[in-house]
Structure 1
């Protein structure tokens, strides 16, 4: 049985939407360090990639934690004296070109032809998957920068009072771990400003509100549609908390979620009503829990 033809456009769209739904769009990073988020990916000859290839390779670098912006084919690596490591998976990149096809009615005339565009898939590897290349191809990871961003004690007290466990480590990822019922945050000092830190923390608290011992909204087996819906609930919760706690909004960041929301709302025009109701319940729970625990501690 023939294998289905690889659909590059669908593949790229699926991966980017998946990362947006996770709240981790590959072109945005509110903290410093990790992969060179703002370095344009380049070919083996240092010519920058353009267009969709920038997003494709940024996304893959984001997913795999690659620090280098250099990408090349298996053959190019071999010609440079390198060897792709065993088991290394390639990343599809797009190559646009044209070929000439002569018009049937004027085939006798060499000067009359049509230029037909085509899209081809190239398979490339990041240099961090390749051994033996010249040293100049390898990049050192960018260390986190201490920007001097300081915590806001009023906000710290509020989030502590929710009773939701929070862990900080040098790992430059923010996420809610449902298995441990714990939020992980990068150090606040690596964020460009405190507002971004607390906005993201609010979003993760939105997720945590759905834990089984709280509002019981989350399940380990959620499909993509359900995860997209959960991202919408968490972001609406964060927006409500932002107003309540006077955290300045960053609409450029919030806009990253819109694509997933629009798709969900096109399928069901009642989804925004349901999400707003779930967000209101999450907001009420978090604020109420914070007030209750704060009152208990003051007694």
Structure 2
């Protein structure tokens, strides 16, 4: 158990080191002009949860552009060779082991199953640390979608498919109204460009997944409390995960007070970042399952 706890602390400290330096790992790929794309396993399956954060921050720090990561053994099996001196990156595997409950000999009833959760670490290398792989592994993902100066009908159609209500008024704020279960947005022209409008909409859509009729998250009651801080991270990271799949660049509000509050939460709870990453992954899964991917705007206009 102590090994698992130490791993929680190690992952949390990795995130804390970046936050305390003023770098938010789930914001940086876009702020640095990077390409929004989820990191991939060698199988082509996307990483999930906190591993997305850990690998994004390493990709930004090293300037990696391709998406795929693999173990040393996987690289060797594919005919590749990790370059001498290259450092691996730690990722984690979450799982559970179920022990079936015993049957009571007298009553014939079965006791409840025992569920033990575990977390294990393993190390991977980015393909740009490896020579000799097939050229397809080194390809950079498609750049972010260009929206011009207006809201994109494909994004609005995507939101409509999720079933989340949207209202637009002259009020100059974007927010999710949990009491009415409605996303409020100012007119699209208030954002200056279509990407700003689309990215903000994704953030508010991620908040909306927490409603009691959807994923039932605790939203918090005041700025700075643990639930409030966690919900903001869920919305930021969730919108980044969704944006990476839709090709939409999320927009983040640089807020020093928010970063200080979130850093305080992490210092007091080594598992907070895992919970936030898991909730963000669930929010992303919910939105993509219902909204799907973006349609070609040319088809919508025809």
What TM-score do the two structures reach when normalised by structure 2?
0.44
Instruction: Choose 1 or 2 for highest CA Rg.
Output: 1
Greater RCO, 1 or 2 (C-alpha within 8 Å, sep 6+)? 2
TM-score (norm. length: structure 1): 0.45
